[in-house]
Structure 1
C-alpha cells in the first residue's frame, strides 16, 4: 500500500495546474507523461521533505517550475529501478507464457 503524502490533500486543488503542466510536456513532445506520474514525481522527488505550513501558491509554483529534463531524469532512473520481469523465467516458462510451442530439432 502506498504511503500517504502530506500534500495529497491538495491534489484536487492542484489538478488544473497538473493538467496544464502535462499538456505543456505533450506540446514539447514528452508524450509519455500523465497526471499520476507527475504527481508521483512531485511527492517522491520534489516534495520529499514537506513543509508543515505550506501554501497552495507555493505548490503551484513548484509544479509550474518543473523542467522536462528533470522529470525525464527521474523517470529514467525509476525505469532502471523497476524489476526485470523475465529475469528468472526459463525458456519453458517463457514459451508457456507466450503460448508458443517448442520446435523439436533433429
Structure 2
C-alpha cells in the first residue's frame, strides 16, 4: 500500500459516511461507538490492501463494516493495550 495513500485528506470528505455508520451502530445498541474508532477500524482493514485504494473503495469498506468486525477490532486493541505487568510501573496500595 505504501505511504502514497491520502486517507487523512479523505477523512473530511467521507465524514457523512462515518457519521452514518456510527448512527447505525448506535441504533443496534452499541452506544459507545465513535467516529474515530470506526475510522481506526477501517484503516486497520485497509492496511492489508496491497494496491492503491481509491476513495470509492474506502467508502464501500465503511458502509459494509459489520458490528462483529468492529467489536473484534476493539477487543484486539484492548488486548494489545498497555502491559500492566511489565514491571515498569510500581503500584502502591493504601498509605504506603
Answer yes or no: same fold by TM over 0.5.
yes
Q: 1:51, CA displacement in angstroms?
A: 3.7
| Cα displacement (A) at 1:94 | 2.4
Distance (whole Å) between structure 1 residues aligned to residue 25 and residue 18 of structure 2 = 11
Q: Secondary structure at the residue paired with 2:33? A: coil
Unaligned runs of 5+ in 1: none
Greater RCO, 1 or 2 (C-alpha within 8 Å, sep 6+): 2
Query: What is the TM-score of this pair, normalised by structure 2?
Result: 0.78
What is the match of residue 28 of structure 2?
A: 28
**Residues 2-81 of structure 1: matches in 2 within 5 Å?**
6=5, 7-44=7-44, 46-48=45-47, 49=49, 51-52=51-52, 54=54, 56-81=55-80
Q: Which has the larger radius of gyration?
A: 1
Equivalenced residues, count: 90
Q: Is the 8 A contact 1:19 1:35 kept in 2?
A: yes
Classify 1:58/1:68 alpha carbon distance in 2 versus 1 (closer, same or farther; 3 Å).
same
Structure 1 vs Structure 2 CA RMSD = 2.1
Match of 2:92 in 1: 94
Pick closer, same or farther for the CA change 1:39–1:23 going to 2, 3 Å: same
Q: Do 1:5 and 1:43's aligned partners in 2 also have CA atoms closer than 8 Å?
A: no
